[in-house]
């Protein structure tokens, strides 16, 4: 035993520091050789440790790779099913079967989108394909609803479905091209993920596995690029993004004026604050970002105020400070917010759906015109519940949609609308008229009767179109674990 250790010690010496040391070790005898023995033990231990780590890593890599494989193969199946269901929706003569086929498109497309986005490929390569799948599903859903509503599909709807069918065939073909490679087991998904993280551009000529995957998806994505912009009555339609803000009116202002406006706007005396333009916002609503810095030891908070370059409207205001434990209730907070709004000249606004989260209250106010609640024209005010200070103000919704509306008289009376409600709903408040946002292409808004009611112990809002009697929306009030909500 001692001899073995001795010999091993020699070897280590020889490897580590040359033969001279081995000589010293031998002449020293076994007693003086314990450091060598320890080194050998450490070496063996580290080898065992290293091997264990290596196998564990291999297992993890395989497990992770299998997850990616599974997503990829599910994606193949989903896209194929989308293609088949789209064909079926065109062939089905009866609304019953067509609705079924369109629902299949919707389900398979949203699964395909989820599976696509869980693959380890850079977003750049997947973006357009992902958007296509979302829109196919969304459009199928909207069309299914239309058909179920006994409405006719328009010629445009037909054209869109046919184009989508063709496009999904191309998509399925492109993916099938990658399938052979994936099935051969030659794709190392972990390597693909590493490559994607590094974002190294693929070298021309080299065909290692990451490039096969990235190239494959790039080709698929390119084929989708040619797909026309999709405009239909759904939340993911391209017209939603293109909507222009209509509430930003007035003459252009300069940065000095923006600072003045910000200084006057904040809910405390900011005359001693240092005002400067911190940056500019280049969005649909271009704005100056004004920072107001409190003088030292003044005890006042700093504020950030975004002022539109056109008209000098305040879009966002935020005051950062720590909040002490709650002292005032939601009702008092709403009153404080009301005072603030009238001070800044936002009259004709009514609070709705105020909620309390932790030590703050968020109170949305909506524009009320002739007793009609116009939900798109919304501003939100955040109030601290320790002393009732205003913490933030957000008028993005208001500035996006506010304009002089001509509200038409409802062609359906409240009583008639009530007849259309589900028998499961017990109405708990008198109905009122409201304008709500909708996704249709022609108009972004609909005038509806708003019913508040309860069903099976839960609170609901149901909106019935005041012109057509169509049930537009059902909203459920969800009580969160923290805070309360009042109307």
Partner 1 sequence: MMSSTTKRMLIVGSTVLALVAVVMVAVVLRGDAQGRAGDANLLARLVAAEADGEPYQGMVAVASVMLNRVESAKFPNTVSGVIFQPGAFESVSNGLIWRRSPSRQAVSAARDALNGYDPSYGCLFFWNPSKPVSGWIWSRTIAVRIGKHVFAR
Question: Which residues of the shown chain bind partner 1 in the complex (CB under 8 A)?
Answer: 13, 16-17, 20-21, 24, 28, 32, 35-36, 38-39, 42, 46, 110, 113-114, 117-124, 127-128, 130-131, 134-135, 138, 193, 196-197, 199, 236, 279-285, 289, 304, 306, 316, 318, 320, 357-358, 360, 362, 380, 382, 392, 394, 396-397
CB of 379 to partner 1, least distance (A): 11
Q: Which residues pair with 392 in a beta bridge?
A: 318, 382
Q: Among residues 373 and 449, whose Cβ is nearest to partner 1?
A: 373
Q: Name the minimum Å distance from CB 486 to partner 1.
A: 16
Distance from C-alpha of 205 to C-alpha of 479, rounded to nearest angstrom: 58
Q: Closer CB to partner 1, residue 128 or residue 145? A: 128
- Smallest gap from Cβ 145 to partner 1, in A, equals 18
Euclidean distance between CA atoms 232 and 105, whole angstroms: 16
Q: How far is CA 373 from CA 306, 452, 475, in A?
A: 26, 14, 16
Question: In this complex, which beta carbon is closest to partner 1, that of residue 404 or of residue 478?
Answer: 478
368: β partners: 373
**What's the closest the beta carbon of residue 55 comes to partner 1, in angstroms?**
16
Pairing of strands 372-384, 390-394: antiparallel
405-408, long-range: CB < 8 A, 24+ apart: 405/369, 405/374, 405/435, 407/369, 407/370, 407/372, 407/433, 407/435, 407/447, 408/447, 408/467
Q: Tokens 């010999």 identify what position?
A: 7
Pairwise CA distance, residues 428 & 455, whole Å: 10
C-beta closer to partner 1: residue 43 or 97: 43
From the list 93, 120, 324, the residue with the least C-alpha distance to 210 is 120
**Residue 81 vs 195, nearer CB to partner 1:** 195
Taking the complex as a whole, how short is the minimal distance between the CB of residue 377 and partner 1, in angstroms? 14
- Name which of 228 and 358 has its Cβ closer to partner 1: 358
CA proximity to 366, closest of 328, 405, 329, 332: 405
Which residues on adjacent β-strands are paired with residue 449? 433, 464
Shortest spacing between CB 203 and partner 1, in angstroms: 16
Phi, psi of 144 (to 5 degrees): -60, -40
Tell the smallest beta-carbon distance from residue 418 to partner 1 (Å): 31
CB closer to partner 1 out of 323 and 425: 323
Minimum gap (Å) between residue 304 Cβ and partner 1: 6
Contact 168, 79 (CB under 8 A): yes
Closer Cβ to partner 1, 113 or 143, answer by number: 113
Q: How far is the CB of 127 from partner 1 (least distance, A)?
A: 4
Q: Which is nearer to partner 1, 155 or 282 (CB)?
A: 282
Best CA proximity match to 226, nearest among 353, 128, 90, 360: 128
Contact between 192 and 121 (Cβ < 8 Å): yes
Q: Which two tokens stand for residue 385?
A: 């519940």
């Amino acid at each position: 035993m001692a001899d073995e250790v001795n010999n091993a010690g020699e070897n280590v010496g020889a490897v580590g520091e040359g033969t001279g040391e081995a000589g010293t070790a031998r002449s020293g005898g076994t007693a003086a050789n314990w450091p060598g023995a320890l080194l050998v033990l450490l070496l063996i231990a580290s080898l065992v440790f290293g091997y264990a780590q290596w196998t564990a890593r291999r297992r993890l890599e395989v497990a992770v790779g299998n997850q990616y494989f599974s997503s990829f193969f599910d994606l193949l199946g989903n896209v194929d099913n989308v293609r088949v269901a789209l064909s079926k929706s065109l062939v089905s003569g009866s609304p019953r079967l067509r609705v079924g086929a369109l629902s299949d498109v919707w389900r398979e497309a949203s699964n395909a989108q989820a599976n696509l986005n869980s693959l380890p490929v850079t977003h750049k390569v997947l973006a357009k394909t992902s958007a296509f799948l979302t829109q196919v599903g969304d459009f199928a859903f909207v069309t299914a609803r239309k058909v179920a509503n006994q409405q006719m599909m328009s010629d445009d709807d037909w054209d869109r479905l046919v184009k989508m069918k063709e496009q999904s065939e191309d998509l399925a073909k492109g993916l099938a091209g990658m399938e052979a490679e994936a099935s051969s087991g030659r794709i190392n998904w972990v390597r693909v993920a590493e490559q994607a993280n590094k974002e190294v551009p693929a070298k021309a000529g080299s065909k290692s596995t990451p490039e096969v995957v990235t190239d494959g998806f790039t080709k698929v994505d390119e084929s989708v690029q040619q797909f026309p912009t999709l405009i239909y009555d759904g939340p993911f339609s391209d017209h939603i993004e293109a909507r222009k803000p209509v509430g930003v009116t007035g003459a252009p202002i300069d940065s000095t004026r923006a600072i003045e406006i910000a200084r006057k706007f904040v809910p405390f005396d900011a005359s001693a604050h240092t005002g400067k333009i911190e940056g500019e916002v280049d969005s649909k609503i271009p704005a100056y970002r004004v920072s107001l810095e409190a003088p030292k030891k003044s005890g006042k908070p700093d504020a950030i105020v975004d002022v539109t370059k056109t008209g000098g409207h305040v879009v966002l205001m935020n005051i950062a400070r720590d909040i002490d434990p709650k002292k005032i209730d939601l009702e008092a907070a709403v009153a404080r917010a009301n005072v603030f709004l009238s001070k800044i000249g936002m009259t004709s606004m009514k609070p709705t759906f105020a909620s309390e989260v932790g030590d703050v209250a968020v109170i949305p106010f909506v524009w009320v015109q002739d007793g009609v609640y116009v939900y798109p024209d919304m501003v939100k005010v955040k109030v601290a519940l320790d002393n009732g200070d205003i913490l933030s103000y957000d008028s993005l919704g208001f500035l996006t949609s506010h304009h002089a509306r001509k509200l038409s008289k409802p062609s359906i009376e409240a009583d008639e609308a009530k007849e259309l409600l589900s028998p499961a709903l017990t109405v708990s408040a008198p109905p009122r008229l409201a304008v709500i946002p909708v996704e249709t292409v022609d108009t972004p808004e609909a005038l509806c009767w708003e019913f508040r009611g309860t069903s099976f112990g839960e609170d609901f809002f149901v909106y019935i179109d005041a012109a057509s009697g169509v049930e537009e929306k059902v909203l459920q009030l969800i009580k969160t674990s923290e805070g309360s909500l009042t109307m």
